[in-house]
Amino acid sequence: MKLFINYIKDKIKSIILALSMIFIFFLVYKLYDINMEAFLYASILSIFTGLIIFIISFLKYKNYIEELNLLKNMENNDEINILNKNDMISREYKKILKSLNEKIYKMELKYKSQIKNQEEFFIMWTHQVKLPITAIRILLDSEENIDKSLIKSQLNRIDQYTKMVLAYIRLNSENSDFVIENVNLDNIIKNVIKNFKSEFIYKNIKLNFKSTNQNIITDKKWFTFVIEQILSNSLKYTDDGSIDIFMENGILKIKDSGIGISKSDLPRIFEKGYTGYNGRNSADSSGLGLYLISNVLKKLHFNIDIDSEVNIGTVVNIDLNQKNHIFE
């Protein structure tokens, strides 16, 4: 009954038009004093024909609605009769459904890819964060005097890994929280150095920081994350010597005297999960840090490249020249 009422509502204009035409014919016959018997005969035939057409149309409408309802739950759209018709409406429905199916398929692939990437990331991250936790547990379980600077160093690593996973989540969200402003570069670097003070002391590494005296247009929080990750890597792979931070021709350089990176590994160091030769020989390397750094700097419209030589050291170069620096 509900379907019939809906059909009447859909066809109400046509019904009113048909009744109006009959009424017009009635007025014409009346005004010209034409035999009303002919009008009644024509009206009865018209109404009878109209009812037949109305019933046939309603049955098609009913079949049409039922097939559309089936379409909601069908995986194979070709099995629906309505789509096998060759009229223009059916052809348009085929185009629409094909387009929707393609979009859904692409969305499913994208979703599966994101889930897979997240699983891989968290597996690598979990492996990485367990190491400083294990180191702290061993230190606390030992009967010897606890080296507080070493504990602070390991806690700082956990803090860096936590920031890393938060950065990954935010970067892959629909709305990345970038706040672009004019910030003092030296203040960012000094605050980062302060956070790593215990590691510099524990590893007895000398720090040479030359003030840049420069302001940059960037997101303070994200750029701080970049400097933290770079300095964390430098400390991780430097056992003695020094780390230098300075500006040269608009390029911020962070140079260490660590184990370096082989030439064969340099082209792939920004790939997610790529650890290279040195990483394979280091238990706490996951290949996530440089991947995140590269992605953050790309969003901040800064270029980064790395020069390195095995057993000599590594120089990270961040180009801060802001020509053609456009934020969307």
Work out the average pLDDT over 52-77: 74
Angle in degrees, CA 192, 195, 198, rounded to 5: 135
- The domain defined by 110-319 folds into Heat Shock Protein 90 (3.30.565)
pLDDT at 176 exceeding the cut of 70:
no
Q: Select the more confidently predicted residue: 205 or 131.
A: 205
Q: Give me 159's structure tokens.
A: 């803090």
Q: Select the more confidently predicted residue: 203 or 255.
A: 255
Confirm if 93 and 77 have CB atoms less than 8 A apart. no
Work out the average pLDDT over 223-251: 92
pLDDT at residue 285, as a whole number: 56
pLDDT at residue 112, as a whole number: 84
Q: What is the pLDDT of residues 254-280, one digit of tens each?
A: 999 999 988 888 888 888 766 655 544
82: confidence class by pLDDT, cuts 50, 70, 90: low
- In our burial notation (b when 16+ CB lie closer than 10 A, e otherwise), range 57-95 reads eeeebeeeeeeeeeeeeeeeeeebebbeeeeeeeeebbe
Please state which of the ranges 139-143, 187-191, 277-281, 311-315 shows the lowest mean pLDDT: 277-281
101: confidence class by pLDDT, cuts 50, 70, 90: confident
pLDDT at residue 182, as a whole number: 93
The pTM of this model reads 0.63
Work out the average pLDDT over 212-232: 93
> Virtual CA dihedral for 232, 233, 235, 241, nearest 10 degrees?
-140
Backbone angles phi, psi at 149, to 5 degrees: -65, -35
pLDDT at 328 exceeding the cut of 60:
no
pLDDT at residue 326, as a whole number: 47
pLDDT at 242 exceeding the cut of 70:
yes
- In our burial notation (b when 16+ CB lie closer than 10 A, e otherwise), range 228-245 reads bbbbbbbbbbbeeeebbb
pLDDT at residue 206, as a whole number: 93
Please state which of the ranges 72-81, 90-99, 133-142, 308-317 shows the lowest mean pLDDT: 72-81
pLDDT at residue 143, as a whole number: 63
The 3-state secondary structure of 190-227 reads HHHHHHCHHHHHHHCCEEEECCCCCEEEEEHHHHHHHH
Work out the average pLDDT over 139-156: 76
